[in-house]
Structure 1
Amino acid sequence: MDYAKPADVVAAMIDASVKKLALAPRDILIRGALSGALLGAATTLALTAVVTTGQPIVGALIFPVSLVMIVLLNLELVTGSFAVVPLARLEGKASWGAVISNWSWVFVANLIGSVVFGVLIAISLTNMGRAEIAGVAARIVAVAEAKTIANAALGTAGMVSVFVKAILCNWLVCLGVVMGMTSTSTVGKIAAVWLPIFLFFALGFEHAVVNMFVIPTGMLLGAKVSLSDWWLWNQIPVTLGNIVGGFLFTGLALYVTYKPARESSEADAVVIQAAAE
């Protein structure tokens, strides 16, 4: 049996947290950029499926390929790190400063990979601007505008809505990352990751790294979205919502109920006895 029990999964999450915090910035940048690009590729594929079939559920079924590759290759995705990385701090093995530094590096790396892939796919879809914006390119433009200026038109309601969608999104995305740890086999990991990622995409929730790709790519393709529209009405509230959903609903929730018992070593016993005397 390759199934890992929840308590063992949380122990693996803590171990992963410590290892992620030990990564050099160079490795974070490479692994994070690859993750951003892979999410961009999967988003493009999913939107292509939607345009071709007219069925959004088909795109949702396809989209999890990106998270599967990211998990199997042990790459860096900031939304997953929102749940996993703080556990080292909760265990007293790192500072909040180290956690925030890691999140910042991964965020920048994901942004770089997403934007670079967006530039490349925009060139591909338009033959360097010579082809008409149609098909999946037009769909990307529509999605970019729906995620930004449509929210701005709603004012406070739009801001609250996108924040809540981001919380719900990363609760499910981080479940996907964590469920990948419930199996030691490749097939088991694929199946476990697929389920919650399919749910998040099918329900239309907001993912910070997906938006790092789809919004600037839509802007390159002609979406009437400004930089302030992108960051104020989507990227910032979505990132904050993803932190809440990932950390509170997945990382902290699983840690509190399944955290490993602290076993006192002989050295600890000596220290305790000496303090008592």
Structure 2
Amino acid sequence: MPGVGRLLAALVFPPGIIMVTLTGIDLCTTSFMFTSIAVFHQRLSIWRALLHWVISFFGNLAGALFMVCVIFGYGGSFDSDPWKTALANFATTRQVKPTWPMLFLRGIGCNWLVCLGCFFAMQGRGLVAKAVALYIPIFTFVVLSFDHVVANMFFIPMSIWVGHPSVTIGLYIWKGILPVLMGNILGGSVMCGAYHHLMYSWRTPEHEPAALSPKSDLESGLSRRPSSLTCVVTETGSAATAQIVPKD
């Protein structure tokens, strides 16, 4: 069955991005959305956002190459079949066969879904809710065979390490980084960042972002402006209760 392998890959891939997101580690592809929103809100300059992208990208690349060369390379995890053959097939279908425009468009769709998953996770109140919210979009992009530049940072250099004859460093830079990175930037900063900025921020007074998930009564009260609130203390016998309410 042709789709079984892709389905299994989609089932096991999301935990990686879930761990990255929940631990607060900087993933360059999700940074494209967060920093863009900060720029739209005038909380961050364009140059600082671009600097963040560069540092995050090369930091992710350094971490991926460390895993390729030290952990998996010298560890020999992909030196024998079926892993070596599976890695070669992945490199062929992701680098050798697709054209440059195809990779660019796949990059847009990929980071659109990845950033959408992070957007969902921000609305979750608990760890399980955040993990499930992340899982669904990540599962979807793997099933659809979209391209993620950080995932390529590991799988393509790993295929070069094990000696894939058709994949070279030049091919990886030309087709594994440039089109996918540009597509990921567009998908994260425009399709998610700009869209949600326009959709939510412009609907609220003074362009402040609206709440994206239900709040408790206390949270709703504390989110109001101090000038519009008053504290009412009620005494019942020997007990006293305080309640934050809007002013009349």
Which structure is higher in helix share? Answer: 1
Residue-by-residue CA offset, 1:57-110 (whole Å, 9 max, x unaligned): 122012110111111101100110111111121111221100000000000010
Match of 2:188 among 246, 252, 255: 246
Look up the match of 2:211: none
Aligned twin of 1:226: 168
Q: Which structure's CA Rg is the greater one?
A: 2
Between structures 1 and 2, the one with greater strand share: 2
Match of 1:216 among 139, 154, 157: 157
Residue 75 of structure 2 aligns with an amino acid whose one-letter code is S
The structural deviation recorded for 1:55 is 3.1
Match of 1:256 among 198, 201, 212: 198
Which runs of no fewer than 5 residues in structure 1 stay unpaired? 1-52, 152-157, 266-277
Which of residues 89, 95, 100 is equivalent to 1:148?
Answer: 95
Could you tell me which amino acid in structure 2 is paired with residue 223 of structure 1?
A: H
Tell me the TM-score normalized by structure 2. Answer: 0.77
Displacement of 1:208: 0.3
Aligned length: 204
Amino acid corresponding to residue 178 of structure 2 in structure 1: I
CA contact (8 A) 2:107 2:183 kept: yes
Give the residue type in structure 1 aligned to 2:114.
V
Counterpart for residue 120 of structure 2: 179
Gaps of 5+ in 2: 209-224, 226-248
SS in 1 for 2:206: coil
Letter in 1 for 2:72: I
Which residue type is aligned with residue 241 of structure 1? G
Shift of 1:201: 0.7
Query: Which amino acid is 1:121 matched to?
Result: F
* Paired residues of 1:169 and 1:207 also in contact (CA < 8 A): yes
Distance (whole Å) between structure 2 residues aligned to residue 126 and residue 118 of structure 1: 10
**Percent same amino acid at aligned positions?**
28
Query: Partner residue of 1:100?
Result: 50
Q: CA deviation at 1:149?
A: 2.4
Are positions 1:134 and 2:81 aligned together?
yes
- For residues 234-263 of structure 1, what are the alpha-carbon distances to aligned partners after superposition, in whole Å with 9 as ceiling and x for unaligned? 211100000111111111111101015317
- Provide, for residues 102-145 of structure 1, a one-character-per-residue CA deviation record: whole Å limited to 9, x for no partner: 00000001001111111221333359xxx5x3111221122123
Q: 39, 46, 50: which one pairs with 1:89?
A: 39
RMSD (Å), alpha carbons: 2.1
Measured after TM superposition, the shift of residue 190 of structure 1 is: 0.7
Q: Secondary structure at the match of 2:75?
A: helix
The answer to whether residue 154 in structure 2 is matched with residue 203 in structure 1 is no
Structure 2 partner of 1:14: none
> What letter matches 1:164 in structure 2?
L
Greater length-normalized contact order (CA 8 Å, ≥ 6 residues apart): 1
State the partner residue of 1:29.
Answer: none
Aligned equivalents of 1:90, 1:191: Cα separation in 2 = 28
How far is the alpha carbon of 1:210 from its aligned partner?
0.1
Instruction: Quote the residue 1:35 is aligned against.
Output: none
Q: Is the 8 A contact 2:156 2:176 kept in 1?
A: no
The secondary structure found in structure 2 opposite 1:92 is coil
Please report the TM-score for the alignment, with normalisation by the length of structure 1.
0.69
